[in-house]
Every structure is written in C-alpha cells, then in structure tokens.
Chain A
Amino acid sequence: MHAEPRLIEVRKNVLKQNDVVARSLRDRFRAAGVFVVSLVSSPGSGKTAFLEKILTLLRSNYRVAALVGDLATENDALRLARSKAPVRQITTGTLCHLEAAMVQNALEEEEWDINRLDFLFIENVGNLVCPSSYDLGEDLRIVLISVTEGEDKPLKYPTIFNSADVAVVTKIDLAAAVEFSWETAYKNIQSVRPGMQVFKLSAKTGEGMEEQLNFLGARLSQLRQSAVV
C-alpha cells in the first residue's frame, strides 16, 4: 500500500439536514394554509408576554397554537396556557436553539391537525446568536428587542437582524423610564438591515398590539390568496 495525499472538491452545506427538514415543514404548512411565525430575542425581551397577548387577541378571530422552546422549565408553557390556546413546550435541555427536526417531532407528538390552524407560533430559546443559523420552516421571523436592552442591540447582533423579517420593539411603556430613544433604535436597525419593518408595542398596556394584529392578519390573507392563484 502506498498513500498519496490530494485535495478533492466537495460542496456540502453543513446545515443541509436541517434545511431539508425545514423545507418539508414549509411545504406542509403551505398545503395546510397555516401562517407560521417564529420569535427570536435575547432572554427577557418579552417573547412570552408578547406571545401570551397576541394569542389571546388572535383567538377571538383565528385558530391559533404555539410551540415554545425553553432550556429547562415549563414556566413559559404554563404562562401561555392562560391564553387558552393550545401550547406545546419543547424542552431543549442545554441546546441553545431550536432545530427544524424538533419542530417536526413536537408537531407529530402533539398530533395537532395543522389543517385546522390559521396561525402557528414558534418561540425560540432566548438567544440572539445561535437561532440565526437554523431555518424552522416559518413564513415570518420576528426579532424582538426590549427598550431596557438599549438602542445598540442591532449593531451588536447584525446577524440575527439579517436572518429575521421584521423587528418588534417591546416594553415601550418603559421607554421614558429607561430614556430609550426610538429614533436611535430605528436608525440602528435600518443600518444593519435596510428596509426592515419595525413595530413598537407593549404587551402590558396593549399599546401597538392592534397594529401587530392587523399586520399578521394581512400576512395570512396574502398567504391564502397566493395559495389560490
């Protein structure tokens, strides 16, 4: 035997396995006519509060459900149960993000009939870095930042802002107390992601929630119309 070192070319996407599952999920969601929204943010930005509020509000006109990723506890699922929408916890253990296969497994175990849903929400684990690499088959990815985090979050985490579709600034009721500048935050978001649509709201006071409801409702109609054509 004699060995000869050489270089061979391959082109393989490292996350191909995740992308394949995500694509099949997306096809399933499309066929079912359900609009899928994922939420990403750092821990404590108010994803769960936002979700509880939006599920409660949407429930009067739409059929909704949510999958919630959490490292160790089921606290989020318990909080969200108050919205009376079906909620399923995905406990990730030490894993810092959700992957498409985890969404797929959760849906199978729960045996939800996604054909009978209008909206499915997926709350990712609180983390502004790792979730950006993983496609979950969602139609819309919302990145949330709270006013208490400061206006420069977008500049520190441009990657997640470039993987998301729209941004939501939360806890706007606390803006004055923490001297949050909406103009600066908006400018910073536009700087790392030109043209990104940005909402501001407070899940606590309800400010800005109606705009969010209308936005999601419009996106659902768009999806259904494009499916007809």
Chain B
Amino acid sequence: MHELSIAMSIVELAEEEAERRGVQINAVHLKLGVLSGVVKEALLSCYEMACEGSPLQGSRLVVKDVAIVIFCPNCRAQRPLTSMQMFCCPECGTPTSEIVHGKELEVVALEIEECMPNPV
C-alpha cells in the first residue's frame, strides 16, 4: 500500500502548479499504466485523504487507465498486449519485454477555475 504517498505527491505537484499559475483546481487528470504498480481504487480513496486541509480539498482525481503496449521486434511495430501474463506479440507470437506504454504515472492535465478580475 504505497498509494497514500503517491496521492500526496500528486496533491503536492498540483498545488505547486496551482500556486504558480494563480488558479483554483477542480480536478487532476492522471494517466495510470497497468504496470505502474499503483492500484487505481486505492489511489482514489487515498486522494481524498491527501487533499484534506489543502487548497485541493474537494477536487476530483480523474484516472485514465493506460493499457500495455509492447514493441514487437519481428513485426517492427507497436502492439497492444492481450495478457499481462504473456509478454508476446498478439499478431506473430514473438516474445518481447520491450514495453512502450503501461508504466505511466503522470499528471497530464488540470481542470482549473481562473480567477479573473471583473471588467471595469
């Protein structure tokens, strides 16, 4: 269970970004790879806890799952992996451990509310 420390890093990172841009954050969009070692459900419940008492309190965490994509050295192409238990090309069956996608743990976007002064 390391999801709480991951959630705290996300909040910290978003807070910095919010402060730098002078904005209020409504939601944080995260790309989460199947091979990131982080469990989505646990992360979502930890996120709420991590936000408590911070400027992000009440914000949402929007998680986009990223499936595993491997590079097949035989087809010379990227292919989606069909089973996490079988690292081989779904087209030709060549075994490969070259992972192109699936390890992501990345904040990709912030939903913000921009505070703008009233027109004079």
Contact = CB atoms under 8 A, between A and B. Distances in A.
Interface of A: 1-17, 95-97, 129-130, 132-133, 155, 158-160, 162-163, 190-196
Contact of B37 (A133, A192, A195): A133
B1 A130 contact: yes
A97 B24 CA distance: 33
B6 A14 contact: yes
B38 A133 contact: yes
B97 to A, nearest CB: 5
Interface string B36-58: 11100000000000000000000
A133 B2 CA distance: 9
Given A130-B37, A133-B38, A159-B37, A96 B95 contact: no
Contacts of A10: 17, 107-110
Of all A-B residue pairs in the complex, the 9 with the closest CB atoms, nearest first, are: A194-B95, A130-B2, A132-B37, A133-B37, A3-B113, A12-B107, A14-B105, A155-B85, A158-B84
Given A129-B37, A133-B2, A5 B113 contact: yes
Interface of B: 1-2, 5-6, 9-10, 13, 17, 21, 23-24, 26, 29-30, 35-38, 84-88, 95-97, 99, 105-118
A163 B26 CA distance: 34
A87 B13 CA distance: 35
A13 B105 contact: yes
Contacts of A6: 111-112, 114
